[in-house]
Chains A and B, each alone.
Chain A
């Protein structure tokens, strides 16, 4: 009862935040509200017992996205440009799409219905077989990295493609040459704000260790490579904000980020190719080691490492691309 009440309360807050994001003309306020929206959404996911998704939403939505929005805001003005006139056609398209979506919800099963198709198709098999086949406590990780490893492979390539797209859009004009820019700037970051800088530097090693914990503990608890990649990227972004781009790029150069992004996806695909060469199907881990559970776990650790490398590399590349662009303009 209390749980339902709390869920409804959080959902109402989500609604209020969404309306506020649309209403405000100040883009800085909108970015902050988007961060709050993500945090509320993470709370909702957590209330629905989806701890893995909640962690992803909190790390990516509330953390990294807000920083990326703010770096994008540095390139543009702080207030929204008001539309010249209301377009009747646009309003009609949006209203029709909304009506179709609302109509589509009538066919959805009731909230929490145990007979819903999603609970009767493959989910029971995953739940009953994870212990026997993979032997890890977190079923989400088993589904994500083993049973549905094809989907996750696709996701990794989506992340990589998005990163490549952003890098093309933001750095095509200036190329690699913007690194000289960075070397020339020295009074950057939060160097004269002593307190945030000292505390932030104190936190960075712990953020990185926590990221590694989330990465390698993902089989036993909520977490996994997507969340870990975001947390580790957040640690390096904090370094860039505190000490300036130059120091962050000294720690992890742009070239290394490109290798990380591509290498992670390559590692994931390589695991698949290796399983084919050893006589199995693509991403069929059982050919790696004699024991079925042990080989599944080896495969999961390998591909999770690939996912983590790609996510970290892409997020940091995007951040640096925005930051470098902001200096040039």
Chain B
């Protein structure tokens, strides 16, 4: 039984780590501001869900799991909100969503 939980937990941790890695690569490689926000918000949601669920399986039925659930709920509220705030304030300050990669050169801080 415990070996099944371990395998499941490591599977979740690895896949979650993969999502975080993809998010990181996305932030570096995506062509424009909005696509980069999209990549980083994936780290906040999929990465956090998978990694924290993996840790919860390691912790078992303890107080630590309850705290991890609280952290997960907090992240699921704040992560997408932060991504939304970032994107909407960029839009309001005049950065046009643009798919041809033109904005990539201009929106990088000097």
Interface, chain A (partner B; CB < 8 A): 24-26, 28-29, 193, 195-196, 199-200, 202-203, 206
CB distance from A110 to the nearest CB of B (A): 33
Instruction: Bin chain B's interface residue count.
Output: 10 to 19
* CB pairs A–B below 8 angstroms (25 shown): A24-B109, A25-B110, A26-B109, A26-B110, A28-B109, A29-B109, A193-B85, A193-B88, A193-B89, A195-B81, A195-B84, A195-B85, A195-B88, A196-B81, A196-B84, A196-B85, A199-B77, A199-B78, A199-B81, A200-B81, A202-B77, A203-B74, A203-B77, A203-B78, A206-B74
Look across to chain B and name the residue whose beta carbon is closest to the beta carbon of A198.
B81
Residues of chain A with a CB closer than 8 A to B110's CB? 25-26
CB distance from B24 to the nearest CB of A (A): 13
Q: CB within 8 Å of A: which residues of B?
A: 74, 77-78, 81, 84-85, 88-89, 109-110
Residues of B within 8 A of A202 (CB): 77
Min CB–CB distance A34 → chain B (angstroms): 15
Q: Complex formed: what's the CA distance from A199 to B84 in Å?
A: 11
Q: Which of B74, B77, B81, B110 has the most CB of A within 10 A?
A: B81
Nearest B residue to A203 via CB reads B77
Residues of A within 8 A of B84 (CB): 195-196
Give A28 to B110 CA distance when docked, in angstroms. Answer: 11
- The 3 A-B residue pairs whose C-beta atoms are closest, nearest first, are A199-B81, A196-B85, A29-B109
Nearest CB on B from A130, distance (A): 23
